[in-house]
């Protein structure tokens, strides 16, 4: 069973005149970003890691990198919400479970803040020239493929596929994983932080919606 409510967003979010509501609106966008990223990542992880499907490693790494970046940005946004005068005034009156979910999420992200940023940098959250140079200067027998599918040139895409970029990405990541560090081990360590982080984000967003938005929306559908 699902329950939906419809409301005028200008009224629900106080027309942009509330720091608290502005912050929650921002978090809602980041939450949906992360929900999409983690949903796709879960499917790809199952295909590539668990079932050994080849040719999709780039997509796995893309959604891992995006999830790390979004989780960090959500953490920044949540801290901003907690610092608003409105939230501080409302905190004492929050439902106990809502308050715990919100505060626990903030504590988890803050506790793992340095680790999240470290993993983002390790897995090339930002493609740095130095990482690309490291990859290119350390290639030996690596091969790559570029494809131009002219039958896909229909306005939305020109049909160009730079499959070799995945090999360059792996090399750029390797530039951060020197001194014998194993990429698979780091990948699993990153998951051990991201997955609980995503759980905390979901709980915090449910709490924020319940505490500050649900009753401001209109009738039930």
pLDDT tens-digit series, residues 181-203? 666 777 788 889 999 999 999 99
Distance, CA of 221 to CA of 213 (rounded, Å): 16
Same domain flag for 117 and 133: no
User: Residues 103, 158: one domain?
Assistant: no
CB burial of 117-140 (b: ≥16 within 10 Å; e: otherwise) equals ebbbebbbbeeeeebbebbeeeee
Q: Is residue 4 part of a domain?
A: no
Mean pLDDT of 56-70: 83
CA 78 → CA 61, 110, 131, distances in Å?
26, 10, 31
Band (49; pLDDT cuts 50, 70, 90): low
Q: What is the pLDDT of residue 221?
A: 41
What is the band of 26 on the pLDDT scale with cuts at 50, 70, 90? very high
Same domain, 165 and 57: no
Range of the domain at 95: 9-123+182-216
For residues 41 and 67, the answer to whether their CB atoms sit within 8 Å is: yes
Please name the residue that has the structure tokens 């002219």: 150
Q: Is the pLDDT of residue 35 over 60?
A: yes
**Domain contains 29:** yes
CA proximity to 81, closest of 65, 67, 68, 94: 94
Nearest-angstrom CA–CA distance, 192 and 172: 22
Cβ-contact 48, 61 below 8 angstroms:
no
Q: Which pLDDT value is given to residue 3?
A: 86
If asked whether residues 164 and 199 sit together in one domain, one would say no
Question: Quick one: what percent of the chain has pLDDT higher than 70?
Answer: 86
195 plus 167 within the same structural domain: no
**What's the confidence (pLDDT) of residue 154?**
60
User: Structure pTM?
Assistant: 0.83
92-126 pLDDT, tens digit per residue, is 999 999 999 999 999 999 999 998 988 887 776 67
Same-domain pairing of 88 and 33 = yes
pLDDT digit string (tens) for 128-154?
788 888 888 988 888 888 888 877 656
Count of domains forming the chain: 2
Mean pLDDT of 155-179: 76
Indicate whether 96 and 151 sit together in one domain. Answer: no
């Amino acid at each position: 069973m699902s329950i939906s409510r419809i409301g005028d967003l200008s009224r629900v979010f106080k027309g942009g005149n509330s720091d608290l509501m502005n912050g929650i609106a921002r978090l809602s966008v980041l939450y949906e970003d992360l929900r999409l990223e983690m949903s796709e990542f879960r499917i790809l992880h199952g295909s590539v890691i668990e079932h050994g499907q080849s040719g999709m490693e780039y997509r796995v790494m893309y959604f891992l990198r995006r999830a790390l970046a979004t989780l960090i940005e959500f953490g920044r946004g949540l801290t901003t919400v907690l610092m608003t005068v409105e939230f501080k005034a409302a905190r004492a009156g929050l439902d106990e479970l809502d308050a715990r979910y919100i505060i626990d999420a903030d504590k988890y992200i803050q506790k793992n803040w340095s680790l999240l940023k470290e993993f983002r940098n390790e897995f090339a959250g930002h493609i740095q020239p130095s990482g690309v140079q490291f990859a290119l200067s350390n290639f030996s027998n690596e091969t790559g493929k570029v494809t131009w599918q002219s039958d896909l040139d229909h306005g939305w895409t020109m049909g160009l596929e730079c499959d070799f970029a995945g090999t360059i990405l792996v090399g750029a990541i390797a530039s951060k994983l020197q001194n014998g560090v194993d990429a698979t081990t780091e990948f699993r360590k990153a998951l051990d932080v991201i997955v609980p982080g995503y759980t905390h984000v979901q709980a915090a967003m449910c709490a924020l919606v319940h505490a500050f938005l649900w009753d401001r929306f209109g009738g039930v559908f």
